[in-house]
Structure formats: C-alpha cells, structure tokens
C-alpha cells in the first residue's frame, strides 16, 4: 500500500511540475519533430547497405520495417494519449510500472541519445571540414562543435515554441534535397534494375530488416516533450501516424530511385550512394546538393535532439531520480533551462573526447529494449484505463492485441540479430552485454539514492 501511495504521489507531483511548462507544440510541429528525428543522415548512406544484401528486392525490407513500426507507433499513440507527462516513453513506462522501471527506461534512452547526438555532431564537423578545410584542425573542430551546441541551447532556452520552430525549419531544409532527388530521379529509373531474380530468403531479409529498423526509429525522441504538446490525446496519435506515412513513402522512393539509376553498382558506393546516384542524372551539381543535404540532415537531427532529449533530465529531476534543481524552469521563458544546458554540456564533452563510440554500439539494442518496455506499459495502461487529464484516449476494437504483437516482433528482431554470425550479430551481442551493465549500474544508483532519501528524515 505504501509503494502504491508513493507512486500515486509521484505522478501527481509530476503533473504539477509539468503545469509550469507551456503546451506550445501542435500537430505540425510535433509531426515535423518526429520526421526530423527519424529521417537522419543515415538515409543518405543506408540504401547501399540494404542493396548489398537484397539487391533489387531491397524495397521489401522497407515495407517490412514499416509494418513493424506501425505496431510500435500504435503502442506509442495509445500510451501517449493516456499519459501526457514530459518524458515520452520514459513517462509511459513509469506510470505503468513505477519509478524504478521508468528510471531504467529513462537511463537506456538517455545514454543512447547522448551517444547518438555526440556521434552525429562529429559527423557534422567532418562534413563541414570537407567544405571548409581550415575548419578541420582539432582546435577548429572544437570551435565548430561549441558553436553548434551553443546556438541550439540559446534557441531552446528561449522557449519551446522557438525550439519547435527551428526543428520545423530544419526539417523542411533537409527534406528538400531528398525530394529533389526523388522528383527528378524518378524519370531516370531503368525498370530492368528493379526486377527481382527471385524472392529473397529469410536470412538476408531478416538481416536487412535488423539493419534498416534503426533508420525508422526516432519517434521516441520526439515524444519526450509530451508535457508541452497541445491536446496530446489527439495530437500524439495523429502526428505519429502522419510522420510514419511520410517517412515510409520517402524512404521507399529514395531506394527505388537509387536502385533504379545505379543498378547493381549501388552496393559499391557505401559512403555516399545518393550523391553518386544524383550525379547520374543531375551531374556534379546534383552530387554537391546531396552531400550538402547529408550535412543539413545531421544538423537537423541535432536540432531535434536538443529540443527533446534534455526533457529527460527535467523528468529525472521532477521525479526525484536526480536533484530537483535539474527540473528548474526559466522564470521568463518557462523552458527547462538547466536540463537543456546540462544535456548540451555532456554531449559536447562526449563529442570532443570520442568516448561516445561504446554508447553508439549500445544504442541499437537499447532502443528496442526501451520499445519493449513501452509496449508492455501500453498494455497495462489500457488494462487500468489510465487517462490524461480525463481526456478521451485513443481507442479502437481489439487494441490490446497490438502490444502483444509488438513485443513478439521486437523479440524476433533481437533474436534474429543475436544469433546471426554477421557483424550485425556481433554488435547486437555486444550491445546486450553493455545494456546489462548499464541496467545494473542504474539499479545500484537508484536504490542507493532511495535509501539516502528515506534515511534523511530519520536523522533530522
């Protein structure tokens, strides 16, 4: 009974803390944030990797991934319509299973997000150095990274509307080269290059799905500022599905154009396949545009991440997992300023030291483990009929079966990857071991802090 009372109190405290924030993210901004978080720099290179395993049948892997993502997104939409607290998937898990499991989910997300953004900023610095070689020295790389983080901190501290507006602008900017690639390249597709010689076997298709699945993830980042979303019971499901449809169409069309213009040669251009394909029908200017697009896409990912991920630190401070100082809200701009500055500082330190590499290996597995927890939480939220602010949640007949199907799908993906003898399998096994260590360390920290918190009043 005491534990249940504490959990109820923690949720009420979280709701009071979130009421200080401004619900300024509407349908267009949240949709743009999800698209920006999902379509990253990876799509500029991954078509070659998928084509290497499946050849002309590569688009089939995109379809399989989209089907799996429909299950995951449906779980997020159901949970997001019932829990409107800042923290996204972390908040869904916490409300369903309590602080401890929620904290583990938050740690998995936080560490992988930090490693991912640090890695992308390094890629961004490298891309900038290719255009302006004088910015490639070690000192100038640090200056470039500091400028990227500093400018985005200033934008986001000034308010969620400014941060969301920046994400929307960057999303449009990074989509333009891809849309140009699709709209022009579709007229240069050679139909013979898309003909399947035979249906792909389950192993190459499974390996391709495991690799490609991570090009579809990103919604978990965009849903973190749920406490600042207008009418989340309606906005979250609509934005999630709209973003998934847009992303899937863009991905499949990109693969078709790249495959249709380069043919079997696509697999030989792993560093910049889209740029090489664009050179076929747009010449050197097309190649330059796509290389610039990759740089913009990387910056777009960082922009979206700095909008969303610091809210995890805010949620930790709000819920007592970290000192309450981290849940500070700027008195004028009403933004989680301390969380934003702290996250950017940690990411900057990770970017310049290069220790983000181990976290990058962990991120693929950790994201799916987080999805697993969220899908299980979704089932419990529906079972208990949890409702955010008394609003009518996202409902449809037979929706309890969706989390079950999603959990089975995640188990298959992890299992398929873990037993593989390829490099994908090695990375997955390494990621599972690292995830286990992270969860053990997080558990020790959680219970030690909880023990100190309980002991403090007794000595006062």
Q: How far apart are CA 263 and CA 192, in angstroms?
A: 9
Say what the pLDDT of residue 356 is: 44
Say what the pLDDT of residue 460 is: 44
Token couple for 48: 């070659």
Query: pLDDT tens digit string along 57-78?
Result: 888 888 888 888 889 888 888 8
Compute φ and ψ for 411, nearest 5 degrees: -60, -40
Look at 24-38, 52-66, 352-366 and tell me which has the smallest mean pLDDT.
352-366
- The domains located in the chain, with CATH, are 2-452 (1.20.1740.10)
Say what the pLDDT of residue 455 is: 62
pLDDT level of residue 348 (50, 70, 90 thresholds): very high
Instruction: Calculate mean pLDDT across residues 115-144.
Output: 82
Q: How far apart are CA 409 and CA 326, in angstroms?
A: 36
Query: pLDDT tens digit string along 299-334?
Result: 777 877 787 788 778 877 877 777 788 888 888 777
Say what the pLDDT of residue 341 is: 92
Tokens 């593989």 correspond to 420
Token couple for 73: 């997104």
Q: Decide if pLDDT at 359 tops 70.
A: no
250 neighbors 59 (Cβ within 8 angstroms): no
Instruction: Calculate mean pLDDT across residues 32-44.
Output: 74
Written as one string, the DSSP assignment of 98-112 is -HHHHHHHHHHHHHH
Say what the pLDDT of residue 82 is: 77
**pTM listed for this prediction:** 0.73
Largest CA distance in the chain: 79
404 neighbors 376 (Cβ within 8 angstroms): no
Residue 59 CB: number of other CB atoms within 10 A? 21
Q: How far apart are CA 92 and CA 85, in angstroms?
A: 8
Q: Mean pLDDT over all residues of the chain?
A: 78
């Amino acid at each position: 009974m005491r534990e249940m009372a504490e959990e109820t109190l923690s949720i009420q405290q979280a709701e009071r803390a979130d009421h200080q924030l401004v619900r300024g993210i509407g349908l267009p901004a949240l949709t743009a944030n999800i698209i920006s978080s999902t379509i990253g720099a990876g799509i500029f290179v991954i078509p070659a990797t998928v084509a290497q395993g499946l050849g002309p049948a590569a688009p089939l892997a995109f379809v399989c991934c989209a089907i799996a993502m429909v299950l995951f997104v449906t779980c997020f939409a159901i949970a997001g319509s019932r829990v409107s607290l800042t923290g996204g998937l972390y908040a869904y898990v916490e409300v369903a299973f309590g602080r401890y499991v929620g904290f583990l989910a938050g740690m998995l997300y936080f560490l992988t997000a930090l490693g991912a953004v640090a890695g992308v900023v390094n890629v961004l610095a490298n891309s900038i150095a290719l255009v302006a070689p004088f910015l490639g020295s070690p000192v100038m790389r640090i200056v470039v990274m500091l400028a990227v983080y500093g400018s985005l901190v200033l934008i986001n501290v000034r308010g969620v509307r400014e941060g969301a507006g920046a994400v929307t602008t960057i999303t449009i900017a990074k989509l333009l080269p891809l849309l140009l690639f699709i709209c022009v390249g579709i007229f240069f597709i050679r139909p013979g290059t898309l003909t399947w010689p035979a249906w792909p076997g389950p192993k190459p298709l499974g390996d391709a799905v495991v690799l490609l699945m991570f090009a579809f993830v990103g919604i978990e980042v965009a849903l973190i500022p749920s406490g600042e979303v207008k009418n989340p019971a309606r906005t979250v499901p609509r934005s999630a599905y709209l973003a998934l449809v847009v992303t899937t169409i863009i991905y499949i069309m990109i693969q078709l154009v790249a495959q249709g213009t380069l043919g079997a040669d696509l697999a030989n251009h792993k560093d910049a396949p889209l740029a090489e394909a664009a050179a076929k029908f747009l010449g050197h200017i097309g190649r330059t545009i796509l290389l610039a697009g990759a740089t913009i896409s990387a910056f777009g990912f960082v922009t979206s991440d700095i909008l969303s991920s610091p809210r995890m630190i805010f949620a930790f401070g709000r819920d007592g997992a970290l000192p309450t100082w981290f849940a500070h809200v700027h008195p004028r701009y009403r933004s989680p300023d301390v969380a934003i500055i702290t996250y950017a500082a940690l990411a900057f330190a990770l970017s310049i030291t290069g220790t983000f590499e181990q976290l990058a290996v962990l991120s693929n597995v950790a994201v799916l483990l987080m999805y697993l927890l969220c899908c299980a939480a979704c089932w419990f939220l529906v079972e208990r009929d949890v409702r955010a602010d008394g609003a009518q949640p996202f409902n449809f007949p037979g929706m309890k079966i969706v989390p079950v199907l999603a959990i089975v799908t995640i188990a298959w993906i992890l299992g398929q990857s873990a037993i593989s003898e390829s490099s994908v399998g090695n990375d997955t096994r390494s990621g599972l071991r690292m995830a286990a260590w992270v969860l053990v360390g997080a558990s020790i920290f959680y219970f030690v802090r909880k023990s100190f918190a309980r002991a403090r009043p007794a000595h006062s």
